[in-house]
Every structure is written in structure tokens, then in C-alpha cells.
């Protein structure tokens, strides 16, 4: 493994998902919860979301990625990993900032699920109104 100084540890979040990301120089090995990226994410879309920061910065195969992610669904976990990976790439090379900022990967998506209110079916859905 690389020197501890070269390993960048960051956190990415999306909805209820939290991804702890370790980025270190290497051969491009991607590990998510002790499984390969292809094994963990069945959908090609989720794998594409995770790899977007690498595509944007042309750093495929230059870094090893170790991720531990929990909470939320598959799409939120993929976005959380992308957020954490973006933060780690910024620590590795601050010159990536303009491109990642323009793509919108640096900003944490603040949208959360709205709580259910009493007297309602869901957060906003009301029971059917009956005039008589």
C-alpha cells in the first residue's frame, strides 16, 4: 500500500447514505464494501455515476479506491460515493477543482425525505375530500 501521507480519506453523503472513501495512488482497483464495483452495483448507471469524477479528470487507473458505504438505496449510495471521491480527488490535486465544480460534484445535494404528518397519507397527500 502507498504511504499514509498519500492516502486521502473523505466522506460523501446523499440522502441517508454515507460513504467513507480512501483514495491512494495505485493501479485503479475499486473496492466497495469488500466487493468489486461491478459486483456491488448491478446497474451500469450506478457504476457510471461512481466513475464520473475519474472520467472528468482523466485519472482512470491512477488511483485505488476503497469505499465503505451504508444507508439509503442503490442510487443514493452511488451518489454518496461520487461525492466522497470528488472530495478525495480535490485533496490529491487541487487543480481538478474548476472542472469538478462546473460539473456540480463538489456541492452536497441537500434534498432529504420530508417527514410524514399526522392526518395525511404521506408527507403531503391528503385523504379524499367528500362534500356530502
Give the pLDDT confidence of 78-118 residue by residue, as tens digits: 999 999 999 999 999 999 999 999 999 999 999 999 999 99
pLDDT (0 to 100) of residue 104: 95
Instruction: Tell me what the mean pLDDT of segment 9-37 comes to.
Output: 95
pLDDT (0 to 100) of residue 115: 97
Q: Residue 10 has what DSSP assignment?
A: E
Name the pTM for this structure.
0.90
Domains, the chain: 8-103 (3.30.230.10)
Is the model's pLDDT at 18 over the cut of 70? Answer: yes
Amino acid at each position: 500500500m502507498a504511504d499514509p501521507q498519500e492516502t486521502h480519506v473523505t466522506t460523501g453523503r446523499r440522502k441517508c447514505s454515507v460513504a467513507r472513501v480512501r483514495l491512494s495512488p495505485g493501479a485503479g482497483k475499486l473496492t466497495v464494501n469488500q466487493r468489486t464495483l461491478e459486483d456491488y452495483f448491478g446497474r451500469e448507471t450506478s457504476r457510471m455515476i461512481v466513475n464520473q469524477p475519474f472520467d472528468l479528470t482523466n485519472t482512470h487507473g491512477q488511483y485505488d479506491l476503497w469505499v465503505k458505504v451504508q444507508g439509503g438505496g442503490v442510487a443514493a449510495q452511488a451518489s454518496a460515493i461520487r461525492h466522497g471521491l470528488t472530495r478525495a480527488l480535490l485533496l490529491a490535486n487541487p487543480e481538478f477543482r474548476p472542472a469538478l465544480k462546473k460539473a456540480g460534484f463538489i456541492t452536497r445535494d441537500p434534498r432529504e425525505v420530508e417527514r410524514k404528518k399526522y392526518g395525511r397519507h404521506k408527507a403531503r397527500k391528503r385523504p379524499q375530500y367528500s362534500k356530502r
